[in-house]
Structure 1
């Protein structure tokens, strides 16, 4: 099966969403789409129609068509199976199946199509897996948003205190006025300073907002005469302490490179699934710094395939490994949010490439079951915050842990023993644990779930430089790489 393109088109043949999967010219794709309505006609019940060169496989979705364009040698049963998968994905991302709803979610639909079809071939994935791959959730982004909300809440608290102080000062000045003193120079100047202060925005990229608030506060506190300066701002409140401010990007441009592992290993040896999903995301604080291109490099490893964002110049990336916008006159988006520019997948790796291998050996002896577990880590990565979760039979009390390299915790509600190792590096590439529980079937201790992170990736993808598209020096940039586990199990 070779899918040339997947599209959602109107009945007039206008493409609302279109993703091509082979090297074809845009004019050729547009010509094929424009010819489709004439071929379908009216009153036909068939789900496909063929021309001299291609096959159209389609499904009506209200007033639109979900359409696959394949070659004529493609297996029609596989074509229909792919069409069914896409038809389930469309309502997941676009609840409103009309022109407006489809256009609003065009990018999300394109990314979903990319996960369902790779290089013209259908991927063996479910709707839930596609959604999981597309989400690419970032824990640091969550922490960053929490930190920013904490700063906003803190600023509001400070402003409330200042407003209360102003009210008290007005009352005091009112009393002085009754006693024959003038109030022109004091309160009116203070009120103007207060009203001119901006508490909107995020403090990134603009001269106002939270980023410049502390300076304004200091000058404001020093202006009232005859009163002591206001107390220093209280430390951050809420979920994120003040030290979390270090998570905020300090450079004009930040690149985040993340790979997620989806691994299922058989307990008796062999691999059911070993899949690496990677993303490079860009965060630009100011619009002026968005006129750039990123030069990247990566390890040339088998099974590595890239997919660029629809607005990225694909030819430039394929020929020179440069990430740049199709339209060089449009900057990359700026603000707090990261913009994914390129995704990649690594498939076909074997057990020798696993970052962490875990073996579990349960054995029943009399009225007890002895469970020995050992791990062995690859030399490729140093692993952080490793947690190996072993399901147990229903227990009233914690198991008896006889020996352990690391620490353990018993989750009595879920009957799970959590073995944690803060860091696995050159000093402890292997380790073991032994515990005892009442008699149990060996299958009780599976599946074992594993979680960890690393500060390097399989692809070793990195940005080696930034090219400015306008006169001047390139903006300063920082980059961070991380490998995390989306799903890592021994079954």
Structure 2
């Protein structure tokens, strides 16, 4: 079979669309469609095809239209009917409506579907689903290319962020007076050396010998200077890097001494925030109760959540005291599910739950006597919003634009030690996550004797205040340069108490021998420190 053209006309004979698959002019198609209208009007037979002297018209009514297949007279009419059905199904699935405007709006898609069905006048063996798939033009290669383009855009965005950070770092270093020698010596020096080498490579032999002689002299001078530079570096390394960092004396003077070395700032901060803990003296048996507190507090002082974690550690340095058993106080409720007590696998759990004792499963075995800490008991307790049981320090903040410094914010800290907490907070620091040298404590509101201890590029501003006892409150105000209030949060609070009564109320009543229950001498220390105590 050979399909010459396929057309869509109205019932009154108005041509709407036509696609020719053979070399036929538009005028010839219009003439054939005009003849079709005459043949259909004069035909009295109930057929779906009509013929004239040259072509056959296989047609099918479609609402107010005709879909017409124009073939030669020798074409297989059975195959033509099958092809016509495919055309009708395709048009029906493509059109959004049945008006002439809808036909014209979908003309491009309809003609594309016709081209998929007929190639050079011959029908392709395709189903409607395959035709829709071809028209969708899904391409695996195109998807891969899109993924590659997205990856390139992501990498470009990351590169922009990296360069922005580098520019910001250089700008901050410039403000602090830190010379950036890497750019001059590393980049321009290398370029100049290459330029000299390129120039003298084309020069005369005498000039080349002179250039080589100059370079050899420079190399000898650098070798002679190397020992002296190493000695200077050794003396520089001996210089102490500690200190208090920035000091504050008044609201209008700002920072007295801006820090000039970022590396020195970081070392100063580490000394201030993470002091090395001294190992307690062990007289035989030392029991350490270590608790860490996590809390999230809103800016207005509301408790959003808290968590207490603790561990009981045992240190024995005398083998004669290693066969020991720890007896907890009578007021310790080991069956309290809220504390989630968990013993070491080698500890007798039944004895812990029944007799409130901590001893080994095998009473004939001793505890290690190497003077190393061994965790024998852990516990954890979680509290929800507006529950103050685990909160040793309640904090609220007040923020307002500074009236004395441009682009700065006054932050007032008001805090109080919970009256239910028995102990003194020995070390207390506030970490504001802003890296700026425009920061000072306001003298007219500084009950806590706050000082700016250090400024670190990674952690921000570290403010240290005086120790505070149970039931006491204090307040101080600091002015910080910041573009907006949210840049000052979250503020981390670092607190520590080296001789605190445990929040869990865990205590050791006595230590006895596992063999004959005779009492053994022991010492107890307890500490409380914050891990993630933040104001958000």
Higher Cα Rg, which structure: 2
TM (norm. structure 1) is 0.46
TM (norm. structure 2) is 0.42
